[in-house]
Structure 1
Amino acid sequence: MREDFVEGTLQFGDVRLRVYYEHSLSYLALASENEAKLRQAAARIQEYVAG
């Protein structure tokens, strides 16, 4: 059985976002200790996936 997910960390300056993406479900999860930066990143990503 093959897995189809990616886990990792993205870092932008001093902000780290934990990322989990599962291709078969088109599921993306982001996590961060900085809620404001997490919301900012989610809003920017949503511009590309919503619609």
Structure 2
Amino acid sequence: MVKVNQVKIGDNLPLVLIAGPCVVENREITLSTAERIIELTNKLNVPFIFKS
């Protein structure tokens, strides 16, 4: 098991979404992307780790 802040990742644990842009174009796009993913993962009750 690996723990990233409060999110646990490992066998027999719930799915964790690790997502974000591959290229950071600017701060606004990066933050709006993170906010939208947070909205969706909160709605679906899926743990989320933002990466870029």
TM-score between both structures, scaled by the size of structure 1 = 0.37
Return the structure number with greater strand share: 1
Normalized against structure 2, the TM-score is what? 0.37
Higher relative CO (Cα under 8 Å, sequence separation at least 6) belongs to 2
> Would you tell me which structure has more helix in proportion to its own residues?
2
